[in-house]
Amino acid sequence: MPRMTLSVPRMLAQFCDGQTRLPVSGADVGSALEDAMARHPLLRTHVLNERGEVREHVHLFLNENDVREDLRAATRDGDEIYVLQAMSGG
């Protein structure tokens, strides 16, 4: 199983024991997210909606590739997955 790093914004670190970089493993982005969420359950509600889809204002990158719509994107050892929250409002 590939090992990689999941980086979350500082505002989500409170749901990850104060960490912004988490070691994760998984054959694809979705399974790597599940690995992190199994250890940090509150992270799920801030990244995924009730249907298990990436929330509207959240973006996911696998290295430099936007994978928001492709959680089945294959991962390799040393990859970086980034969770970014878009700013919105008036």
State both tokens at 89: 């409002």
What is the model's pTM? 0.91
Task: Delimit the domains of the chain by residue range.
Answer: 3-85
From the candidate CATH numbers 3.10.20.30, 3.40.50.300, 3.30.1490.20, 3.30.360.10, the one assigned to the domain spanning 3-85:
3.10.20.30
> Which of these, 50, 56, 8, 3, lies nearest to 31 by C-alpha position?
3
Q: What are phi and psi of 83, to 5 degrees?
A: -105, 125
Instruction: Tell me the pLDDT tens digit for each residue of 34-86.
Output: 999 999 999 999 999 999 899 999 999 999 999 999 999 999 999 999 999 87
- Residue 24, classified by CB atoms within 10 Å of its CB into exposed (0-12), middle (13-18) or buried (19+), is buried
Instruction: Tell me the pLDDT tens digit for each residue of 1-44.
Output: 789 999 999 999 999 999 999 999 999 999 999 999 999 999 99
